[in-house]
């Protein structure tokens, strides 16, 4: 029998709350009945039909007017990579969490893997291929500070840095961290990346 | 043949930027997944949505009729009646004119499944009454129990009166490689019936071999290109079922090239993973802190077919020990080699037990560790080199690391509290070891052209360690040229045989034949030049772009090469003794400084110190980058990474890059890297550094967290959940 005299616990700690909710819920499971009803819903789905057609897309990429036929569902990333041979931006997570596909659209840093290509018509798309390759450019700083290993995330990091420096030519180390926090490197080149961004800021000012 | 590296090098050991750095940093480098040969089709894979199922029927007819679809094929030998044994197991493949069409066709493949019972986690596989999914080959109830390995009499060792013992369980979860460029290749059949592939691989030679074998054609009819590749970490050594299937699709589509790369979810599920490690450990020492024995029951899962071994005891002198390891089989993708296979797991188990025992003994864990190093730890270098004693190396490295982290002033016994703040501060450390030597079986071709160009050529590849730059440094050193004067051509399976990039072996395996090749080429040049300079070949030398006679500059490099007329000098160099450690055998230690918020369980890293020995360093810049990279890999294991399987459905809950956590820039602390590069270490020759620094970081972080909060967090990663659970169990709330 419950002890009715027991005082309710006052002020549950943040720790108890967190243990009981959000973080632990990362391991939430889909229960049996839910799985069954999902299966039922699936069985009721009609035969799979493809409804697709292409549209002519005109894009301004790195100062060039490019045109190609795409389905309206094509992302900017897949359009650049698969149809326009602009392969600097990479497809890694394909759902806006790693930043390897980063491009600059009308001055804004954008994940091209979750941007529809048709939404970019009439806008200015800049990719890593268009950046200054001289000693005051961001790519040069990445090479000098060895901010790359396998190099697959590198175009995304270079683009995020370039975009940051365009907006904030005098970033602090913390601002650089935040500026590239939307990007993930698996080889672990962050130290070189941070050094490169600060060095590029310095080099640009000297230019 | 040279048997030693230059005594006073001008370039070797300095900080040289990567030759292919600009190509990578400007997005111009073409990765295998960027390749787009004329007429290329887009491939896509269909994989099992179920953890365990029998395929009742497989119908491609609707898929084949869709617009743009050129070929649909089963994966491997899959047919009606086949079993799929994990979510992500391959079923079928499509090639179509556009990627969108290929994905539509994948969705239009009709598969009827008989869903079978599964075991998705280690716990589920071992539970009483669990379905026996895995049988045969010594597997009982999904478990293959290994033989016990016993040294001395561990049971007797614990009997003494003055024995202090800890008994504890530790575990690390399955993690996945997360190569940013997924597994895959672009492949075509030429009109002559040959295969040409652009593969994301750590091994161009074995990949060509696998393709040739799959189609029973001579390997001379296969060319694999890997100019650059986007990460492998041990998981990319062949064409794999995806590459072979893509080649079949290309053949079926009349030789049109097919680009086939896994999507991110499939990459997590089927592209390899690191086995879990679960350990129950009894470790004992005398009251004076001398280890006397260890008894360990360990297990782990490598998925539906791979093992889960890891070394234990690790690093330290344990006079008596017994260890039994069991492989647990689950409906998950198969493990593959991952960065120093087994060592991070063995290290975190051993080092956690060492720390817990030091705490029980009331000893400084640093002093306890030094007290228990092996009296000598001789490492065979191979070739003609003498063996190396690793024990004094550990002593030196721990001393250096302790100084750099400020151990003497900052370290306090476990669970010390400064005031009432929930932010607790802790320090931890761990020791590690690895091989990193290179086998003497490879070749490098060096060609000096009449126009002065120099090419270094071999069938190895750059996994990110800067292989091109390494060859150029060596050639430039010997020829008195600039690094940028040299062209390194690698990543082609038809070049002279080169080393697969695994086990930190590329640089040590390839540097000796590179030095040999360029030295032989130089000597041949001297022989040809000597008459024109009215000198003996042995009077000639090279420096600063000049040919010198008895130390006096006589002719510019290009003018000298012009004397070759129409005939380049081309030499194939082999490995020679003494230039690299054949077996490696490095030490190393790391220290971590953390804060832990005991209300939220959030661990923040403040600083990591890594002290690393790896023989002679060729490029200090890329060497440091590798050590930073190793540490950052290790801090991912320490804080973030975990494959989460749902026991009910058997599927992976985080096959992505937001819930599968990896460090971003704001998670990176101050990292101090110290190269332990004494003359004795340099004399060992070249040793690879890719893996050693990734071994002990997670262990050091775990120990720092225990030091901060006063209780062991027994499960990696040091996530808020695991930290809060450990704090709760300390308070009896578990």
| pLDDT single digits (tens) B646-670 | 999 999 999 999 999 999 999 999 9
Residue B625: CB atoms within 10 Å: 27
**Is residue A96 over pLDDT 70?**
yes
Partner-chain contact B668 A82, CB within 8 Å: no
User: How far apart, in whole angstroms, are the C-alpha atoms of residue B67 and residue B72?
Assistant: 13
In a domain, B23, yes or no: no
Structure tokens at B416: 């010390």
- Among B32, B146, B46, B57, smallest CA distance to B87 is for B46
User: How far apart, in whole angstroms, are the C-alpha atoms of residue B172 and residue B349?
Assistant: 9
In a domain, B55, yes or no: yes
Residue A121: CB atoms within 10 Å: 13
Partner-chain contact B181 A188, CB within 8 Å: no
Last residue of a domain, one of B509, B544, B574: B574
Identify whether residues B87 and B202 lie together within a single domain.
yes
The pLDDT of residue B578: 84
**Is residue B314 over pLDDT 70?**
yes
**Is residue A21 over pLDDT 60?**
no
Identify whether residues B66 and B212 lie together within a single domain.
yes
**Is residue B333 over pLDDT 50?**
yes
- Looking at the complex, does the CB of residue A74 fall below 8 Å from at least one CB of chain B? yes
Domains and CATH numbers, chain A: 55-129 (3.10.20.30), 131-206 (1.10.150.120)
**Is residue B244 over pLDDT 90?**
yes
A112-144 residue pLDDT tens = 999 999 999 999 999 999 999 999 999 999 999
User: How far apart, in whole angstroms, are the C-alpha atoms of residue B470 and residue B18?
Assistant: 9
- Looking at the complex, does the CB of residue A17 fall below 8 Å from at least one CB of chain B? no
In a domain, B561, yes or no: yes
**Is residue B607 over pLDDT 50?**
yes
Last residue of a domain, one of B539, B574, B609: B574
As a whole number, mean pLDDT of residues B533-556 equals 97
The pLDDT of residue A41: 63
CATH of the domain at B414: 3.30.365.10
Chain A environment of B36 (Cβ under 8 Å): 82, 85, 87
- Looking at the complex, does the CB of residue A102 fall below 8 Å from at least one CB of chain B? no
In a domain, B135, yes or no: no
- Looking at the complex, does the CB of residue A69 fall below 8 Å from at least one CB of chain B? no
Q: How far is A122 from chain B (nearest CA, A)?
A: 24
Partner-chain contact A188 B464, CB within 8 Å: no
**What phi and psi values does residue B140 have, to the nearest 5 degrees?**
-125, 125
How far is the CA of B308 from the CAs of B273, B326, B473, B638, B660, in angstroms? Answer: 11, 8, 39, 19, 21
Q: To 10 degrees, the CA torsion angle through B394, B400, B405, B410?
A: 90
Please name the member of A27, A88, A95 whose beta carbon is closest to the beta carbon of B644.
Answer: A27
How does residue A33 score in pLDDT terms, banded at 50, 70 and 90?
A: low
Last residue of a domain, one of B199, B229, B261: B261
The pLDDT of residue A44: 61
In a domain, B406, yes or no: yes
- Residues forming a β-bridge with B74: B92
**Is residue A4 over pLDDT 70?**
no
Chain B environment of A187 (Cβ under 8 Å): 231, 464, 629, 633
Structure tokens at B402: 């302790």
As a whole number, mean pLDDT of residues B682-702 equals 96
Identify whether residues B338 and B425 lie together within a single domain.
yes
Identify whether residues B285 and B199 lie together within a single domain.
no
> Residue B328 has what DSSP assignment?
E
In a domain, B164, yes or no: no
Partner-chain contact A48 B62, CB within 8 Å: yes
User: How far apart, in whole angstroms, are the C-alpha atoms of residue B541 and residue B58?
Assistant: 70
**Is residue B351 over pLDDT 60?**
yes
How does residue B275 score in pLDDT terms, banded at 50, 70 and 90?
A: very high
The pLDDT of residue A27: 44
The pLDDT of residue B369: 98
**Is residue B733 over pLDDT 80?**
no
Q: How far is A90 from chain B (nearest CA, A)?
A: 8
Partner-chain contact B464 A151, CB within 8 Å: yes
Please name the member of B628, B646, B664 whose beta carbon is closest to the beta carbon of A181.
Answer: B664
Identify whether residues B595 and B688 lie together within a single domain.
yes
Identify whether residues B475 and B556 lie together within a single domain.
yes
In a domain, B586, yes or no: yes
> Residue B580 has what DSSP assignment?
B
Question: CA angle B99-B234-B102, nearest 5°?
Answer: 10
Identify whether residues B226 and B348 lie together within a single domain.
no
As a whole number, mean pLDDT of residues A149-158 equals 98
The pLDDT of residue A23: 42
As a whole number, mean pLDDT of residues B279-295 equals 98
| Domain carrying residue B658 | 273-436+582-730
How does residue A39 score in pLDDT terms, banded at 50, 70 and 90?
A: low
Number of folded domains in chain B?
Answer: 3
CATH of the domain at B254: 3.90.1170.50
As a whole number, mean pLDDT of residues B26-46 equals 98
B673-683 residue pLDDT tens = 999 999 999 99
- Looking at the complex, does the CB of residue A25 fall below 8 Å from at least one CB of chain B? no
Partner-chain contact A142 B100, CB within 8 Å: no
- Find the closest chain A residue to B466 by CA distance: A149
The pLDDT of residue B161: 87
Which string of DSSP letters, residue by residue, matches B90-102?
Answer: EEEEEEESSHHHH
Identify whether residues B550 and B631 lie together within a single domain.
no
Q: Which runs of E-coded beta strand occur in B173-244?
A: 175-176, 184-189, 195-199, 222-225
Please name the member of A74, A143, A178 whose beta carbon is closest to the beta carbon of B22.
Answer: A143
- Which ranges constitute the DSSP H helices of B271-406? 343-361, 365-371, 390-405
Q: Which candidate in B627, B664, B728 is best for mutational testing of the A interface (most A CBs within 10 A)?
A: B664
Partner-chain contact A88 B28, CB within 8 Å: yes
Identify whether residues B624 and B550 lie together within a single domain.
no
Identify whether residues B247 and B342 lie together within a single domain.
no
Instruction: Label each residue of B226-268 as H, E or C.
Output: CCCCCCCCCCCCCCHHHHHHHHHHHHHCCCCCEEEECCHHHHH
Partner-chain contact B646 A131, CB within 8 Å: no
Least confident of A49-58, B64-73, B564-573: A49-58
Partner-chain contact A100 B180, CB within 8 Å: yes
Identify whether residues B588 and B705 lie together within a single domain.
yes
In a domain, B341, yes or no: yes
Residue B7: CB atoms within 10 Å: 5
Mean pLDDT of chain B: 96
Identify whether residues B66 and B187 lie together within a single domain.
yes
As a whole number, mean pLDDT of residues B387-415 equals 96
Maximum distance among all alpha carbons in chain A? 79
Chain A environment of B466 (Cβ under 8 Å): 149
How does residue A92 score in pLDDT terms, banded at 50, 70 and 90?
A: very high
**Is residue B30 over pLDDT 90?**
yes
Please name the member of A30, A50, A140 whose beta carbon is closest to the beta carbon of B649.
Answer: A30
B558-575 residue pLDDT tens = 999 999 999 999 999 999
């Amino acid at each position: 029998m419950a002890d009715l005299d027991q005082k309710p616990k006052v002020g549950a700690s943040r720790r108890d709350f967190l243990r009981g909710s959000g973080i632990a819920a990362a391991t939430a499971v889909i229960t049996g009945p839910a799985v069954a009803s999902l299966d039922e819903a699936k069985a009721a789905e009609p035969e799979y039909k493809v409804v697709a057609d292409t549209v002519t897309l005109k894009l301004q990429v790195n100062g060039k007017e490019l045109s190609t036929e795409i389905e309206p569902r094509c992302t900017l990333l897949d359009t650049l990579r698969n149809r326009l041979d602009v392969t600097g931006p990479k497809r890694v997570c394909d759902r806006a969490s790693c930043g390897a596909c980063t491009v600059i659209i009308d001055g804004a840093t954008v994940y091209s893997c979750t941007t529809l290509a048709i939404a970019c018509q009439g806008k200015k798309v800049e990719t890593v291929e268009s950046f200054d390759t001289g000693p005051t450019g961001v790519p040069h700083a990445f090479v000098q500070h060895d901010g790359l290993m396998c190099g697959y995330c590198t175009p995304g990091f270079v683009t995020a840095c370039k975009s940051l420096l365009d907006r904030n030519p005098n970033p602090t180390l913390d601002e650089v961290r935040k500026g590239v926090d939307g990007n993930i490197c698996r080889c672990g080149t962050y130290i070189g990346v941070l050094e490169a961004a600060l060095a590029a800021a310095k080099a640009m000012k000297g230019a | 043949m040279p048997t030693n590296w230059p005594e006073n090098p001008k370039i070797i050991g300095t900080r040289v930027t990567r030759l292919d750095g600009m190509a990578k940093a400007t997005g111009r480098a073409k990765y295998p997944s960027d390749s787009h040969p004329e007429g290329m089709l887009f491939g896509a894979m269909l994989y099992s949505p179920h953890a365990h199922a029998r395929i009742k029927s497989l119908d491609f007819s609707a898929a084949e009729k869709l617009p743009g679809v050129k070929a649909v094929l089963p994966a491997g030998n899959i047919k009606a009646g086949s079993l799929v044994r994990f979510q992500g197991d391959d079923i079928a493949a499509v090639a179509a004119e556009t990627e969108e069409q290929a994905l539509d066709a994948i969705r239009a493949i009709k598969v009827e499944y008989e869903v079978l019972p599964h075991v998705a986690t280690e716990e589920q596989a071992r539970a009483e009454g669990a379905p026996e999914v895995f049988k045969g080959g010594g597997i009982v109830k999904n478990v293959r129990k290994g033989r016990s390995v016993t040294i001395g009499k561990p049971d007797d060792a614990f009997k003494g009166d003055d024995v202090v013992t800890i008994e504890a369980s530790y575990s690390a979860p399955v993690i996945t490689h997360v190569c940013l460029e997924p597994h895959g290749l672009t492949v075509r059949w030429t009109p002559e019936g040959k295969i040409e592939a652009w593969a994301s691989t750590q091994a161009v030679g074995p990949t060509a071999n696998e393709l040739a074998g799959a189609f029973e054609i001579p390997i001379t009819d296969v060319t694999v290109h890997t100019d650059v590749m986007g990460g492998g970490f041990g998981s990319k050594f062949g064409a794999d079922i995806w590459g072979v299937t893509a080649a079949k699709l290309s053949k079926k589509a009349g030789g049109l090239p097919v680009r086939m790369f896994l999507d991110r979810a499939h990459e997590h599920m089927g592209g390899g993973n690191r086995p879990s490690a679960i350990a129950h450990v009894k470790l004992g020492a005398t009251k004076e802190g001398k280890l006397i024995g260890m008894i360990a029951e360990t297990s782990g899962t490598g998925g539906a077919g791979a093992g889960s071994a890891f070394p234990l005891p690790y690093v330290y002198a344990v006079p008596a020990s017994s260890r039994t390891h069991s492989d647990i089989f689950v409906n998950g993708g198969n493990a593959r080699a991952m960065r120093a296979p087994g060592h991070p797991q063995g290290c975190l188990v051993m080092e956690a037990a060492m720390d817990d025992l030091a705490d029980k003994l009331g000893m400084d864990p640093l002093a306890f560790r030094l007290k228990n190093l092996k009296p000598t730890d001789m490492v065979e270098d191979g070739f003609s080199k003498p063996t190396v004693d690793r024990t004094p190396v550990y002593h030196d490295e721990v001393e250096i690391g302790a100084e750099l982290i400020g151990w003497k002033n900052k370290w306090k016994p476990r669970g010390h509290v400064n005031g009432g703040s929930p932010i607790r501060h802790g320090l931890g450390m761990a020791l590690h070891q690895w091989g990193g030597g290179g086998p003497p079986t490879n070749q490098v071709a060096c060609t000096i052209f009449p126009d002065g160009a120099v090419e270094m050529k071999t069938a190895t590849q750059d996994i990110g360690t800067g292989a091109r730059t390494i060859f150029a440094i060596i050639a430039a050193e010997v020829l008195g040229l600039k690094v940028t004067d040299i062209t390194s051509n690698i990543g082609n399976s038809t070049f002279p045989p080169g080393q697969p990039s695994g086990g930190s072996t590329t640089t040590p395996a390839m540097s000796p034949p590179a030095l040999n090749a360029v030295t032989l080429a130089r000597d041949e040049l001297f022989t040809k030049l000597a008459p024109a300079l009215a000198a003996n070949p042995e009077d000639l030398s090279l420096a600063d772009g000049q040919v010198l006679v008895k130390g006096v500059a006589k002719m510019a490099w290009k003018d000298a090469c012009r004397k070759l007329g129409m005939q380049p000098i081309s030499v194939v160099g082999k490995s020679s003794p003494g230039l690299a450690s054949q077996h490696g055998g490095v030490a190393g230690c790391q220290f971590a400084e953390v804060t832990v918020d005991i209300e939220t369980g959030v661990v923040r890293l403040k600083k990591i110190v890594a002290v690393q020995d790896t023989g002679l360093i060729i490029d200090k810049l890329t060497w440091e980058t590798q050590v930073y990279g190793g540490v950052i890999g290790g801090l991912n294991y320490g804080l973030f990474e975990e494959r989460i399987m749902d026991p009910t459905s058997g599927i992976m809950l985080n096959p992505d890059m937001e819930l599968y956590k990896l460090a971003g820039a704001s998670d990176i602390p101050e990292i101090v890297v110290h190269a332990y590069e004494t003359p004795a270490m340099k004399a060992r020759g070249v040793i690879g550094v890719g893996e050693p620094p990734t071994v002990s970081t997670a262990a050091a972080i775990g120990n720092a967290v225990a030091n901060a909060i006063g209780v062991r967090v027994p499960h990696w990663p040091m996530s808020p959940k695991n930290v809060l659970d450990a704090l709760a169990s300390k308070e009896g709330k578990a």
